[in-house]
């Protein structure tokens, strides 16, 4: 991983933490996720005339990636409904890089060196250490792990698809557009038109958060074409560390000793990735 890609992915992680920190939508979780998906899809749709069309061989991956992103969102909503955010999110995000590392080694011939494997383990371990102790039911755990599986799968699909597409930007914009359409179709099916009307009161903060979210993952998709998927996936999840630091320095939140230890482990993983 070059220095340019390394810092680009760290910036993507900062963007991801940033939109999570600043957004205050005042909506239920389903509506919040729907709004973000629609904003991302709307921005991507507007950019389609200005980006290259993905290669024909990449279209199955565009369809697969957008479907997996939608599935991830629906699993995440369900997991949040069963467990606390502070527990579900680190488990869902921290497990995914481990899955991508194994899958990349088995299917993409991207077996990491011992040092790179240690970096992934340190980052993933630190993220999972962020989770609170106890209180997570077996059902909530299964949904959190299912969410992690979706994260790993869409990472693999987007990485392979972007490499085949010939244009990471073209692939990303079409994938975001289709993901937004799928979420809209699902929302209209299960909740009807009121599901969309309810978003109006939060459109401004939702627009800002959606734009930051799109930018964050757009960078990640480009990075998938420049470096091994496992390295990008692990480094991207350092957003958890940025979120903790934003909470401590900007929002004046208390941070327990366990979370500082987790942050130190994530920093160690970042350092190992550059050795």
Contact indicator for 23, 205 with CB cutoff of 8 Å: yes
Q: Tokens 């497990």 appear where?
A: 95
Compute how many other C-beta atoms are within 10 angstroms of the C-beta atom of residue 9.
27
Give residue 132's pLDDT: 60
Tokens of 196: 């969309």
Domain of residue 78 covers: 3-274
Tokens of 174: 């079409």
pLDDT above 90: residue 215: yes
Torsion from C-alpha of 5, 6, 10, 16, nearest 10 degrees: 40
pLDDT above 70: residue 230: yes
Predicted TM-score (pTM) of this structure: 0.89
Distance CA(212)–CA(14), nearest Å, equals: 10
**How much of the chain, in percent, has pLDDT values that exceed 90?**
39
* DSSP 8-state secondary structure symbol assigned to residue 113: P
Q: Could you read off the pLDDT of 141-159 as tens digits, one per residue?
A: 888 889 889 999 999 999 9
pLDDT above 70: residue 21: no
pLDDT above 90: residue 265: no
Give residue 240's pLDDT: 76
Number of domains in the chain: 1
**56-60, 70-74, 165-169, 235-239: the lowest-pLDDT one:** 235-239
pLDDT above 60: residue 80: yes
Distance CA(80)–CA(263), nearest Å, equals: 23
Distance CA(103)–CA(228), nearest Å, equals: 12
């Amino acid at each position: 991983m070059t220095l340019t890609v390394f810092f680009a992915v760290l910036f993507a992680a900062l963007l991801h933490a940033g939109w999570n920190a600043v957004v205050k939508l005042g909506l239920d979780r389903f509506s919040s996720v729907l709004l973000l998906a629609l904003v991302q899809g709307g921005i991507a749709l507007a950019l389609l005339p200005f980006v290259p069309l993905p290669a024909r061989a990449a279209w199955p991956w565009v369809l697969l990636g957008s479907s997996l992103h939608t599935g991830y969102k629906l699993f995440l909503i369900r997991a949040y409904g069963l467990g606390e955010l502070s527990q579900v999110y680190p488990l869902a995000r921290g497990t995914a890089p481990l899955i991508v590392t194994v899958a990349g080694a088995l299917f993409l011939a991207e077996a990491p060196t011992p040092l790179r494997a240690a970096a992934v383990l340190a980052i993933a371990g630190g993220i999972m250490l962020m989770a609170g102790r106890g209180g997570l039911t077996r059902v909530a755990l299964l949904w959190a792990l299912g969410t992690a599986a979706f994260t790993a799968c869409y990472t693999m699909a987007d990485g392979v698809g972007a490499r085949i597409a010939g244009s990471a930007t073209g692939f990303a914009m079409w994938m975001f557009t289709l993901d937004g359409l799928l979420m809209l179709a699902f929302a209209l099916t299960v909740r009807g038109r009121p599901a969309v009307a309810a978003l109006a009161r939060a459109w401004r903060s939702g627009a800002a958060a959606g734009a930051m979210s799109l930018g964050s993952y757009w960078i990640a998709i480009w990075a998938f074409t420049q470096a091994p998927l496992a390295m990008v996936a692990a480094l991207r999840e350092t957003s958890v560390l940025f979120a903790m630091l934003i909470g401590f320095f900007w929002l004046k939140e208390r941070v327990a000793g366990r979370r500082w230890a987790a942050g130190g482990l994530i920093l160690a993983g970042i350092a190992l990735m550059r050795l």
